[in-house]
Chains A and B, each alone.
Chain A
Amino acid sequence: MSDAMVQIDGLVRHFGGVHAVDDVSFSVARGQVLGFIGPNGAGKTTTMRILATLDTPQGGDARVGGYSVVDDPEGVRRIMGFMPDYAGVYTNTTVEEYLDFFARANDLRGEARRKAVEHIIEFMGIGDLRDRHVESLSKGLKQRVALGRAIVHNPDVLILDEPAANLDPRARIELRTLLRELAADGKTILLSSHILTELSEICDAVTVIERGKILATGSVEEILQRVRQRRLLSVRLAGSNERLERFLVEQPGVINVHEAGPCLEFELEGGDEEQVQLVSRLIGAGFAVLEFSAHSGGLEDLFIEITEGRVQ
Chain B
Amino acid sequence: MTFARVLAWLDDKSDWLSPLVVKEVRQVVRGREFSLSFGASLVAGLSVAFFGATDAAAGGTAGRWTFVALMACLGFLGLAVVPLGAFGALRRERLEQTFDLITLTALSSRRVVVGKLLAQAVRLTTLFAAMAPFVAMSFLLGGIDFVTIAISLVVLFLASLWVCALCVFLSALVRSRALSSVIFVGVGIVVLFVFGVAGSAFRAFSLGVFFAATGGPSLTASETFWTLAIGTTMWLVTLINLLLLAVNRLSLPTEDSVTSLRLGFLAQLLLLTGWTLTFLFDPPGAAKSAGYALAVLGGLHLTLVAVFAATEGSTVPRRALLRMKSPSLEGWLIRLFGPGGGRGPASVILQLAILMGALAAFPINDDDRRAFMASYGYLCFFVGVPTLLFRAFLPKYATPFRLRVAVLVVLALATALPDVLHYLIRQPEILDLHYSARHLISPFRTLANWQTVERSGWELFPLAAGVTGLVALILLVPAGARQAAEDASINPHRPAPAAGEPGRADLIY
Contacts and interface: CB of A to CB of B under 8 A. Distances in A.
A93 B12 CA distance: 20
B27 A90 contact: yes
Interface string B18-45: 0110110011001100000000000000
B358 to A, nearest CB: 40
Interface string B251-292: 011100000000000000000000000000000000000000
A88 B98 contact: yes
B2 to A, nearest CB: 17
A61 B491 CA distance: 13
A77 B23 contact: no
Interface of B, helix, strand, loop or mixed by DSSP: loop
Contacts of A80: 104
B60 interface: no
Given A88-B97, A92-B30, A77 B495 contact: no
A230 interface: no
Chain A CB count within 10 A is highest, among B12, B96, B105, B253, for B105
Interface of A: 13, 15, 52-61, 70-71, 73-74, 77-78, 80-82, 84, 86-93, 97, 101-102, 104-107, 109-110, 113-114, 149
A61 B19 contact: no
Interface string B100-118: 1111111110000000000
A97 B25 CA distance: 11
Nearest to B499: A56
Given A101-B22, A110-B12, A113-B15, A52 B27 contact: no
A164 B98 CA distance: 19
B91 interface: no
B22 to A, nearest CB: 7
A88 B106 contact: no
A61 B495 contact: yes
Nearest to B26: A97
A77 B100 contact: no
A109 B20 CA distance: 14
Contacts of A114: 11
A56 B252 contact: yes
Given A53-B252, A74-B106, A113-B15, A102 B498 contact: no
A149 B101 contact: yes
A280 B27 CA distance: 73
B497 interface: yes
B318 interface: yes
A70 B98 contact: no
Nearest to A101: B23
A101 B115 CA distance: 13
Contacts of B318: 70-71
Interface string B469-505: 0000000000000000000000001111111101000
Nearest to A104: B19
Contacts of B424: none
Contact of A13 (B11, B107, B498, B502): B498
B26 A57 contact: no
Contacts of A110: 11-12, 15
A205 to B, nearest CB: 25
B106 A86 contact: no
Contact of B107 (A56, A61, A73, A105): A105
B15 A104 contact: yes
Contacts of B102: 105
Nearest to A103: B19
A258 B475 CA distance: 80
Contact of B495 (A15, A54, A60, A92): A60
Contacts of B253: 56
Given A71-B319, A88-B96, A93-B23, A58 B495 contact: yes
Nearest to B13: A110
A102 B502 CA distance: 20
Contacts of A88: 96-98, 100-101
B322 interface: yes
B495 A59 contact: yes
B26 A93 contact: yes
30 contacts: A13-B498, A53-B104, A55-B498, A56-B252, A56-B502, A57-B498, A58-B497, A58-B498, A70-B496, A71-B318, A71-B319, A71-B322, A73-B252, A73-B254, A77-B105, A77-B106, A80-B104, A82-B104, A88-B98, A90-B98, A91-B27, A91-B96, A93-B23, A97-B23, A101-B23, A102-B105, A104-B22, A105-B102, A113-B15, A114-B11
